[in-house]
Amino acid sequence: MQTSAGLDELDRLLVTALQAAPRADWRRIGRALEVDASTAARRWARLTETGLAWLSCHPAAGPGLAPVVAFIEIDCAPPLLRDVAARVAADPHVFTVEHVTGSRDLLVTAAFADQAGLARYLGFRLGALEGVRATRSQIATALHVEGSHWRLDRLAEHRRTLLMDPVPADRAPAGPAARAPDPADLALFTALSEDCRLPAAQLAERTGLSPTTVRRRLARMQSERALVFRCEVARFLSGWPVSVTLWCAAPPGDVPAVSAQLAGMRETRLCASLSGPHNLMVAVWLRSIEDIRTFETRLAARFPELLVADRAIALWPLKLGGHILDPHGRHVRAVPVALWEDAEAAAAEEALLAPFREGGVAGAGA
């Protein structure tokens, strides 16, 4: 049966299965979907080759890896908007770039090692980029839910059970607490970001580790939730083609309860607490433009204390979860995730600080 103008029922279930179990082998996926393994693999190959679906992996926040997540609004000179968007999308720490409606041209989600890294990026990268007229930024004080938790479809309980892969006791991580990633973990992150379904033997070849070590480290990182896997589908075929970002304000004491309910809504892709006057941001996927009013009406009825202060509709999701997309949301290429480093920006910042290091700025006084 064909659904969503191009994805049939099996395609949708396949994407949903990979969202739930991204590294499951084709036999297990086939059993869950009631098809043979070769059919599941062939279907997935067709979807990926045409850019209609893709998988990705990136490290999660944790011990030794707690990046500052920022939402950056960029105003552009109209003739250079696409050029600015393309340059920003190429930055490895930028997860999402959307050309949107409303009082900003681009909406960017990015991660930084610390607040100083965000300041450096705003001042020395975006501030020096031709075509950027202004920027505004807010820090996520909490991420309540993000895109890796969203599901294209719903799997019956028996299908979900068949997808589960209990970690054998001899592969479970020893030690009670998560720890900072070491160089071997980082090498695994890099290999998984290129293809998160690579088997342990191929990951071992790429990282120089033994297959046994790869399996043990993967089991540990997955149990610690140190890895974020995402399976995405081209939005125009998803049945949820309209992406809207809402800036909301809720009484501070109500934010935990409101955000928990927002995070559980079917349409919600992202819900974050913000550092600015609008203390909640919600990104949702909807069935149609007309559904924006319907969705906001539901919000008002469910959360009378919540004020929707602003909204933006995505016109072109240029980058999603570290992947470059075409105007219809089809996959073009991946940009491996890494925190931003720029030697020129660091040198420019050091030059500005030099007078202060040398004893103060001439003319300064109390």
**pLDDT of 206-254, one tens digit each?**
999 999 999 999 988 888 888 889 999 999 999 999 999 999 999 999 9
Q: Are the CB atoms for 68 and 115 separated by under 8 Å?
A: yes
Please report the pLDDT score of residue 106 as a whole number. 98
Opening angle at CA 141, ends 120 and 310, nearest 5: 90
E strands of the chain, at which residues? 2-3, 7-8, 53-59, 68-76, 94-100, 106-112, 132-145, 227-233, 242-249, 268-274, 280-286, 307-320, 323-325, 331-334
Please report the pLDDT score of residue 172 as a whole number. 45
Res 7 pLDDT > 50: yes
Q: Are the CB atoms for 22 and 229 separated by under 8 Å?
A: yes
Say which residue the tokens 């991580």 belong to: 173
Closest of 235, 233, 239, 201 to residue 44, by C-alpha: 233
Please report the pLDDT score of residue 17 as a whole number. 97
Please report the pLDDT score of residue 3 as a whole number. 46
Tell me what percent of the residues of the chain surpass a pLDDT of 70: 91
CA diameter of the chain = 78
Res 174 pLDDT > 70: no
Please report the pLDDT score of residue 223 as a whole number. 81
Q: What single DSSP character describes residue 53?
A: E
Task: Return the structure tokens found at 314.
Answer: 């995505």
In three state form, how does the secondary structure of 202-242 look?
A: HHHHHHCCCHHHHHHHHHHHHHCCCEEEEEEECHHHHCCCE
Residue 211 phi, psi (nearest 5): -55, -40
Please report the pLDDT score of residue 187 as a whole number. 87
- Whole-model pTM: value is 0.88
- Calculate the average pLDDT of the chain: 89
**pLDDT of 33-65, one tens digit each?**
999 999 999 999 999 999 999 999 888 765 456
* CB neighbour list of residue 310: distance below 8 Å, 6 or more residues apart: 102, 103, 246, 247, 278
Res 152 pLDDT > 90: yes
Residue 176's pLDDT band, with cuts at 50, 70 and 90, is: very low
The average pLDDT across 157-176 equals: 66
For residue 131, the SS3 value is coil
The average pLDDT across 268-293 equals: 96
Res 186 pLDDT > 80: yes
Question: Is residue 160 classed exposed, middle or buried when 0-12, 13-18 and 19+ CB atoms within 10 A define those classes?
Answer: middle
Please report the pLDDT score of residue 60 as a whole number. 76
Opening angle at CA 90, ends 87 and 91, nearest 5: 100
Tell me what percent of the residues of the chain surpass a pLDDT of 90: 71
Res 18 pLDDT > 60: yes
